[in-house]
Structure 1
Amino acid sequence: MILDGNDPAAIAAAAHAVRAGALLGLPTETVYGLAADASSDAAVAQIFAAKGRPSDHPLIVHVASAEGIAHFASEVPDFAQKLVDAYWPGPLTLILPRLPGVAGAATGGQDSVGLRCPAHPVAQALLRACAAPGDEATQGGPPVWGVAAPSANRFGRVSPTTAQHVQDELGADLLVLDGGPCAVGIESTIVDCTRGVPVLLRPGAVTREQIEAACGIKPLSKEDLPALTPRASGTLEAHYAPHAKVRLMDAKALQTGLDLLGSDAAHIAVYARVVLRSKSPRLVIRRMPDDAAATAQQLFAVLRGFDDERVKLIWIETPPPSPEWEGVRDRLQRAAAA
């Protein structure tokens, strides 16, 4: 069931459901999440079951504000606090030492916890409603200080960026708050803050340069500390994959492939910044924006659209190597590896 996220009654109903242990499709500025009470192992178990996700693969816990950190983390290093001050609310997840006895199922049993404060107004309204004090008999349960919310899709598949995507993926029985299309379009940047220095585990809208500018420390890459970094959401080699096979190619290779196939090209979709020539009327072509942020915003919707066209192959022009494209490159490389 899809509810209008701008309706206060819908927010109240959704908060009641979460307090009662139910799942919820939740809009954020990055992608739609599949949310449940992070403090309830039973509620979190429903997330893993619905997604088909391994139970040792940690989830990100969403909080309404920086005050929520104290409910889940035992320590906030100075550089992490600077990142909170600069980018919360926003598309940045910080991995911090976990308080003993909290969110064990949501963190996959690790001694660290990934925390994010989303900027989306519907997510903010839901989180505030969940944490607000009230009559437990009518509210559906005690206050919820954070919701675990991985992307609302089957494990390893393309993340949803609209409420309809969530319903198409997980069924009409799931309660979903509609907050419109996601503004960022790819998942949050993840920074590990448990090693004394920032370690970039997953690139996103908040770039390496912005991380360094905010905290004064150049972030390491997870490859720099392969044996030390914790498990984190969305960091598997193969992820974010449509049903069709994805192949990354440069512009010259794309045009060469189309020339070789000629009018016989079929069941192929192409997503590229360059203008391509083809003699086949059966080719599905979408132009990739020249701007990295615009590409990120539409990327998952484009991949889902190609699947709807029943194509078998998706040829994508490799994004530029510049820093602002790192998040898009990461998602496409993982999609191509699936």
Structure 2
Amino acid sequence: MTQHTARVINKQPQETVHRPNRRLQGTLLFKGGQKSAFKAAAILSRGGLVAFPTETVYGLGATIDQIPTINRIFAVKGRPADNPLIVHISDREQLDRVVSYIPPAAECLMDRFWPGPLTLVLHRSPLIPSEISAGLPTVAVRMPAHPLALALIRATGVPVVAPSANLSGRPSPTTASHVLEDLACKIEAVLDGGSCRIGVESTVLDLTADRPVILRPGGVSREELEQVLGATVDHARWGGEQSPPSPGMKYRHYSPKGSLLLITGSRERRRKLITSLLRYYRDCGIPAQLLNYVTRRSRLTGSMPGEEYLARRLYGKLRHYDLLGIKVILAEEITQEGIGLAIMNRLRKAAVRVIRV
């Protein structure tokens, strides 16, 4: 794919390089390591908010027994109270504190995908506060596949709730710098574990219905789930007014400051419309950019990069365009196989308009 742009910008913003264990605008930044995980766990145990890395995106953590701190998550993020939180655990023993029943299908999925980017919605234990589940009888739970996340949860000794560590509606953070862009001064600490390996959130699978249902596509594909379960897995769409059973269903999410237009339809018509729109915005003096999926290697080989690469870079690109002052972002649809389903879900959620040609 050839890159199109309505504005040539030579100066690239440089990401800030942070030194170990610095305090930035009132927020401590811990560089990765076991000692840093213990320090961050101490802050959690005292009722503080700590952002930490997972393999998907950075999470904003509070222990499940700190109700005032859990309420602070909603206030700091500007998150609606009817949007449930995901509980993160470090071992299967902690699961007994979170859920009241583990069905056989859950056992199979945990054996295959935990630790990893799969969140299971199960019937919640009476020990789980209603603030976590938005008053629902279910709870979302997962075991992250990141050594710092696991070390942090083990050090606290209790499960940790954690939505993405960003302002609600913004692109999710995949680096510590992204977290600080949104939440510096608002939380106690950030545990820096580098860039997230997957780059989009976990798949959320509801196992409380008659058939397994994907509530949010993510790092584990529908095809992988069906292979383990030996059954068809449905994909839910949310249109109700009551609390959704999973994050990422009811509200607009993942949005850059500029307006994102998602172009779908035949490839030839998409390209014609994109070329026309970029020319129009250029003539109007409006900074516009095609969300570019091309890498240097793919230019040389003539092939597209894999969907895993696109997922890993998606949120970072959207935030980068914000730094450049891009007002309009044009995005093309991609295949919805594998993790492509999750990427298209995020683009649709972020878009101010979907244009089919």
TMscore range, shorter length: 0.7 to 0.9
Q: How does 1:1-338 map to 2 (within 5 A)?
A: 1-6=28-33, 8-131=34-157, 145-172=158-185, 174-223=188-237, 230-249=244-263, 250-260=270-280, 266-273=286-293, 290-337=305-352
Question: What secondary structure does 1:56 align onto?
Answer: coil
- 1:234-282 superposed Cα distances (whole Å, 9 cap, x missing partner): 112521111110001233321232345566554112113479xxxxxxx
TM-score by length of 1: 0.86
Deviation of residue 320 (structure 1)?
A: 2.4
Which stretches of structure 1, 4 residues or more, deviate above 3 A after TM superposition? 223-230, 259-266, 272-275, 321-324
Q: Name which of structure 1's ranges 145-154 and 222-231 shifts more when overlaid on structure 2.
A: 222-231
Number of residues paired by the alignment? Answer: 312
How far apart in 2 are the matches of 1:252 and 1:67? 56
Partner residue of 2:23? none
Cα distance in 2 for partners of 1:24, 1:232 equals 22
Rounded Cα–Cα distance in structure 2 between residues aligned with 1:224 and 1:175: 34
Aligned to 1:282: none
Please say which of residues 84-93 and 210-219 is displaced more in the overlay: 210-219
Quick one: distance in 1 between partners of 2:241 and 2:208? 13
Q: What stretches of structure 2 of length at least 5 have no aligned partner?
A: 1-27, 264-269, 296-302
RMSD: 2.3
* Letter aligned with residue 170 of structure 1: L
Q: String of CA shifts for 1:202-221, please: whole Å, max 9, x gaps.
A: 01121111001112221112
Decide whether the 8 Å contact of 2:84 with 2:244 is kept in 1. Answer: no
Percent identical across equivalent pairs? Answer: 37
- Asked if the contact 2:334/2:344 (under 8 Å) is kept, the reply is yes
The structural deviation recorded for 1:55 is 1.5
Paired residue secondary structure (1:71): helix
**Cα distance, 1:263–1:274 mapped onto 2, change above 3 Å:** farther
Alpha-carbon distance in structure 1 between the residues aligned to 2:243 and 2:85 = 15
Equivalent residues of 1:41, 1:104 under 8 A apart: no
CA change 1:175–1:273 in 2 (3 A) is closer
Contact 1:91/1:189 (8 A) holds in 2: yes
- Contact kept, 8 Å, 1:77 with 1:196, in 2: the verdict is no
Counterpart Cα distance in 2 of 1:218 and 1:331: 23
Equivalence for 2:10: none
CA contact (8 A) 1:93 1:188 kept: yes
2:230 & 2:343 partners in 1: Cα distance? Answer: 25
Q: Which amino acid aligns with 1:86?
A: R
Contact 1:91 1:205 in 2 (8 A): yes
Task: Please give the secondary structure, in 2, of the residue aligned with 1:200.
Answer: strand
**Unpaired segments of 5 or more residues in structure 1?**
132-144, 276-287
Partner secondary structure for residue 272 of structure 1: coil
